[in-house]
Amino acid sequence: MLVVGMTSEAAKTSIIERIKETTVETDVPVTLDADLYEDLRIWGGDFYELIAWIAETFGTDFSSMDASKYVPGEGPGELGFVRLLSGKSPYRKCTVAQLLAAAEHGR
């Protein structure tokens, strides 16, 4: 659910700017199809802070979201081992477009 008086385009710009501030991958463009973890390397605390900011700014309810299905946590994990064995990420995609849709629809 967008902030009163904020257009969809303004929300998109605001979220993309916040993502650019958060990602360490400065040479990767923040496109609608970019995956937060796989492409932009946003995970752990940075991911949770981004979600919290969207929730606070746009009134989005992420209470039913299990973030551990989308990004690894902060601590040491098995990610490298799982990826080494399978050749792919064990996490679901969470794209910029999905975050924009959540902000627009309130969940």
The pLDDT tens digits of the residues spanning 35-52 come to 999 999 999 999 999 999
Task: Compute CA 33 distance to the chain's CA centroid, rounded to the nearest angstrom.
Answer: 11
Closest-CA residue to 70 (of 107, 96, 38) = 38
The pLDDT tens digits of the residues spanning 48-105 come to 999 999 999 999 999 999 998 999 887 665 555 555 566 677 889 999 999 999 998 8
pTM of the predicted structure, to 2 decimals: 0.84
